[in-house]
Amino acid sequence: MTTVFITGGHSGIGLECSRQLAARGVDIILAGRSPAKMQSVADELQAIPDISVVTVELDTSSLASVRSAAVRCAALIERGEIGPLRAVLCNAGGRFDGQEKYSPEGYDLTFATNCLGHFLLTELLLSMMPVDGRVVFTASGTHDPDTMDGKMIGKAVEPNATKLANDGKNGAKPLSAGKRYSTSKLCTIMYAYELARRLDRAGSSIASIAYDPGAVPETGFLRDMPKAVQWLATRSLMKSAFKRIGVTTSTVAFSGAALADLAVNEQYATKSGQYFQANQGKLSQMRSSKASYDEQRAVTLWNDSKRLVGLRLNEEPAQLR
């Protein structure tokens, strides 16, 4: 059996990816915060013959929730209800506007949701993957300040996990929502590259890939913005304006299908440590920002993230010890 674990696979590009995978005969683990919504999607997908869809409750902003989801996944594999994880898609995420918010562990909600949760999840699930497994991190072109994507939302700051996790505390001025988001996506790409390097040093064939699905206004990305902004972003005139000024744009259908391709198509099995971008109907291998290739900063980010999530010795996968 081929099984793909996807966070946020019940909405947006994640839902389209889940539909694409199911159509290709892939079993799916839907992981997310809404059991009712996930079950609705599971019922839809299981109408396809010979497809198994399992739901796992998971809130990536909560480290306790991540650990519980990993335990449930391991139990499902042990009982033979699902096969080993061919791919783990770290797809869920969000931008949180307004007053600063914090996770159950007290970390900035953007960094906890987009970074720490998926970092811990990958560490916990890696040992459940076969030698040809794949990890795909959904990132964003907004991480790069030299692109129009990055210029529009707010320049990414230093990828310092400790500072980002504690943003806005002790009277310090918090980062803007845009900068929190773009920096979280820079960290996501650095996780993907550092994981690729560590797997390569360990002689593992598991691939770690970063993916920018492009600006897709129809998803929940703008859910915390004013209704007028949400409406305007979906109008054809605004989409045309985005294209003219160089914003990376895509559609739910294309970006979801591209994520499914990265997860299971053989042509991406040897693309570990690479960055792919969906833009106007094309999936291309691209260079990410200059900062994303800083190996020293990536190691520091990785080690600080291990400390922040409280990674235990018995939780670290054998491939990375």
- Each residue of 43-81: pLDDT tens digit? 999 999 999 999 999 999 999 999 999 999 999 999 999
Separation between Cα atoms, residue 17 and residue 282, nearest integer Å: 16
Residue appearing with tokens 């996930």? 38
- pLDDT exceeds 70 at position 109: yes
Separation between Cα atoms, residue 78 and residue 76, nearest integer Å: 6
The confidence score (pLDDT) of residue 243 equals 63
**pLDDT digit string, tens, across residues 259-285:** 999 999 999 999 999 999 999 899 999
Residue 315's identity, in one-letter code, is E
- pLDDT exceeds 70 at position 232: no
pTM higher than 0.85: yes
Which two tokens mark 140? 């964003």
- pLDDT exceeds 50 at position 222: no
Using pLDDT thresholds of 50, 70 and 90, give the confidence band for residue 199. Answer: very high
The confidence score (pLDDT) of residue 309 equals 98
The confidence score (pLDDT) of residue 248 equals 80
Which two tokens mark 61? 């902003």
- pLDDT exceeds 50 at position 210: yes
Region of residue 248 (left: phi > 0; alpha: psi -120 to 50; beta: else): beta
CB atoms within 10 A of CB 62: 19
The confidence score (pLDDT) of residue 216 equals 81
The confidence score (pLDDT) of residue 242 equals 63
